[in-house]
Structure 1
Amino acid sequence: MAAEWLVALDAGSVDEEKFEAWRNADPRHASAFAQVAATWAYTADKRTAAFYEDCGGGTAAHAEADMPAAVDAGQGRGATRRQMMGGIAAGIIATAGAGAFLAWPKRAVASTGVGERRDLVLPDGSRAMLNTDSQIAWRFHGIRELWLDRGEVLLSLRGEAKDGVRLYSKSFNARLQPGKYDARLAGDSASFLTVQGAAQVDAGGAKPQSVLSGQLLTVDVASVQISDAGAADMADALAWQRGEIVFNGMALGQALDEFNRYLGTKLVLTDPVLKQTRLGGRFELDDPQRFLAALDQGFGIAHRRTDKGIELYRAGVGAR
């Protein structure tokens, strides 16, 4: 619960009265919040200094300069400066409550529903186009920062190369130069495509990797890979901007997963053998009937509506 309050405070969506009521209801609540907030504050890059200034504690640099190298904590290793800083932050937050966080610039948030796409102009004139069922957040306050919370976003970034834009997600973090990039989260996997530009992407490896124009980085639970993406491959990957979806030899099982991203009523395959059927073609995202007709005419895969969705089955086998 403490972490949820922290996220709400950072996003600017918190009800301050409810937060204070929760924090004051039990000393353990205040302690738990102080711990998660201290960790967040110390790992928040340049915002740590603002945190100390807002709380009246001086800058982080001054506080750390006054610290001894280590403090004897009894048995075991002494506390490092980093740990001491976290302890000071915890004490300040425990007493200051939400005030320090509410004084910080909050993240703006935008999202789309299933089947919806949205084109946004960011504060610096850059653009962000959200695909179906997606959410991003941004904060342009000295450092230009973006968060991809779910789904997919196409970024067209302006500005000076020396500044860059930081993109954060659960699967990777990236530093982006001016250019065009597509980032997508899909369950335990993710992809990052540099259409034009250059990015340094940290996906949990030993060091960030360069992803240059025409390169695709893919992440899953087992590996991180970078491959070249040709012009045709990039056009197919970004067809959703035009309201289209392209299958170029894709297996039916994967194709249904892709189409279902855009559909409220899902397509359900009843015969697992059909999963490996290879498809080709270009279809409109808001007209699944053409896709269903192509399956029927080209592969003998019929469909019917049930309470589970639109079920696909081999014609003449599953009909009733």
Structure 2
Amino acid sequence: MTTSPAPLDDDRICAEAAHWCARLHDAECSDAERAAFAQWRAADPRHEEEYQAMLEIWQLSELLPPTPHIEPGLIIDPVPIRGRHQRRPRSIKRLAAVAAGVLMALGAVWSAGWSAGLLPSRVGYYAAQPTPREVQLADGSKVELNSNSQLVFANFRERRSAWLKTGGEAYFQVAHDTLQPFSVFTDNGSVRVTGTRFNVWTDANQMLVTLLEGSVVVSPPDSIDGNSAQLTPGMQARYIKGSERIELAQVAPAGAIAWTEGKLVIDDLTLQAAIPLINRYLKQPVFLDDATAAAMRIGGIYRTDDLQALVDSLPKVLPVELRKDNQGRTVLASRYVQL
């Protein structure tokens, strides 16, 4: 049995399509961005459909004079940055008449979409690479993005939506607004708030949410018929892909945002839980070779710019060894003899 896509997933695709329209119409759009767009476009048939729909609206502005270049990370208004083709107007009066008509059409279309809650009033794309970065969203909320993290933000009429890309981490300080809830979406679940401070980290297999102030509701992906969890300050929620429950724990919240000061706090974790946190900062990730190694525990405070030294030192403090597997990957294997 198939189900229709969730409305919030449609919101994400709409925001991403608006972002790509803006970037691709900018003359300074890089080859890397164009390659990323091609991957996004091919990843889901809905991406192509939504992009074409957005393009029809945005192409109405081709006769408008180009606007100044907007650097990546700044707020992108729903009016396109620049048309793809420059056209010479026949007269100033004709240009003014056409521009006025197009502006009215764009305004009417976008206003109707915004009033119906279908289109955002603002869309922003933010990236922190390779160092962390602090940004301010259109609603006044502040976000600190960890290195190699990407965020898309869309400000709708009755909600605020942010999408944190897989492999990213962000510390949110959300501007309070009970009439316009703020949600963060990842491939591994979502977080819903009205105003609070919390940290979100997600990779291909899990999502980790730590609450510092206020209250949030953490939910698994829409495809999972699992529980949601309401957190109070000092609580941490973990969702692991494929499971049906959100795991809760009491933690020291400051440790979750130690990365903003260039530190990683590992509070007596198993290697299975610690290695994904460490891998965020390594040029080449490390993998666990067996369950015995995965169950071993480590702790301490480490510099995020020198975590390779931690990995190299593990065989000195734990009964493990570093070696290459048959795929050429670096693995941690137990030195215990497996019977």
Give me the TM-score of the superposition, normalised by structure 1. Answer: 0.60
Label 1:13 to 1:260 Cα distance change in 2 as closer, same or farther (>3 A).
same
1:265 aligns with 2:265: no
Of 216, 231, 237, 1:217 maps to 237
**Counterpart in the other structure of 1:179:** 196
**Counterpart in the other structure of 1:167:** 184
Deviations 1:86-130 (A, max 9, x none): xxx9xxxxxxxxxxx8xx6452111234x6322222234321111
Label 1:34 to 1:183 Cα distance change in 2 as closer, same or farther (>3 A).
closer
1:295 aligns with 2:322: no
Aligned equivalents of 2:318, 2:285: Cα separation in 1: 20
Check the 8 A contact 1:124/1:159 in 2, yes or no. Answer: no
Aligned equivalents of 1:144, 1:59: Cα separation in 2: 13
Aligned equivalents of 2:172, 2:317: Cα separation in 1: 37
Equivalent position amino acid for 1:166 in 2:
S
Matches within 5 A, 1:185-204: 185-203=202-220, 204=222
Aligned equivalents of 1:34, 1:116: Cα separation in 2: 32
Check the 8 A contact 1:8/1:14 in 2, yes or no. Answer: no
Task: Give the stretch that moved more between structures: 140-149 or 300-309.
Answer: 300-309
Equivalent position SS for 1:274: helix
Q: Shift of residue 272 of structure 1? A: 6.2
Check the 8 A contact 2:210/2:256 in 1, yes or no. Answer: no
Equivalent position amino acid for 1:263 in 2:
L
Q: Shift of residue 54 of structure 1? A: 0.7
Equivalent position amino acid for 2:172 in 1:
L
Task: Give the stretch that moved more between structures: 256-265 or 162-171.
Answer: 162-171
Equivalent position SS for 2:277: helix
Label 1:247 to 1:109 Cα distance change in 2 as closer, same or farther (>3 A).
same
**Counterpart in the other structure of 2:250:** 229
Aligned equivalents of 1:313, 1:58: Cα separation in 2: 55
Label 1:117 to 1:308 Cα distance change in 2 as closer, same or farther (>3 A).
farther
Q: How many residues align?
A: 249
Deviations 1:178-210 (A, max 9, x none): 210112222243233322112244434588653
Equivalent position SS for 2:284: coil
Check the 8 A contact 1:117/1:132 in 2, yes or no. Answer: yes
Structure 1 residues without counterparts, runs of 5 or longer: 18-28, 39-49, 62-88, 90-100
Equivalent position amino acid for 1:121 in 2:
Q
**Counterpart in the other structure of 2:263:** 244
Deviations 1:221-250 (A, max 9, x none): 2223263423x2x23333322222233332
Check the 8 A contact 1:183/1:191 in 2, yes or no. Answer: yes
Aligned equivalents of 1:281, 1:178: Cα separation in 2: 32
Equivalent position amino acid for 1:277 in 2:
M
Give me the TM-score of the superposition, normalised by structure 2. Answer: 0.57
Deviations 1:40-76 (A, max 9, x none): xxxxxxxxxx999518989988xxxxxxxxxxxxxxx
User: Identity percentage over the alignment?
Assistant: 19
**Counterpart in the other structure of 1:152:** 169
Equivalent position amino acid for 2:278 in 1:
F
Matches within 5 A, 1:1-320: 9-11=17-19, 12-13=21-22, 15=24, 33=49, 53-54=108-109, 105=121, 107-113=123-129, 116-140=131-155, 142=157, 143-150=159-166, 151-203=168-220, 204=222, 205=225, 209-220=229-240, 221-225=242-246, 227-230=248-251, 232=252, 234-268=253-287, 273-292=292-311, 294-299=313-318, 301=320, 303=322, 308=328, 312=332
Structure 2 residues without counterparts, runs of 5 or longer: 1-9, 27-44, 55-104
Structure exhibiting the larger radius of gyration computed from Cα positions: 1
Label 1:304 to 1:288 Cα distance change in 2 as closer, same or farther (>3 A).
farther
Equivalent position amino acid for 2:234 in 1:
G
Equivalent position amino acid for 1:236 in 2:
G
| RMSD after superposition | 4.5
Check the 8 A contact 2:183/2:190 in 1, yes or no. Answer: yes
Q: Shift of residue 312 of structure 1? A: 4.9
Q: Shift of residue 8 of structure 1? A: 5.0
Equivalent position SS for 2:246: strand
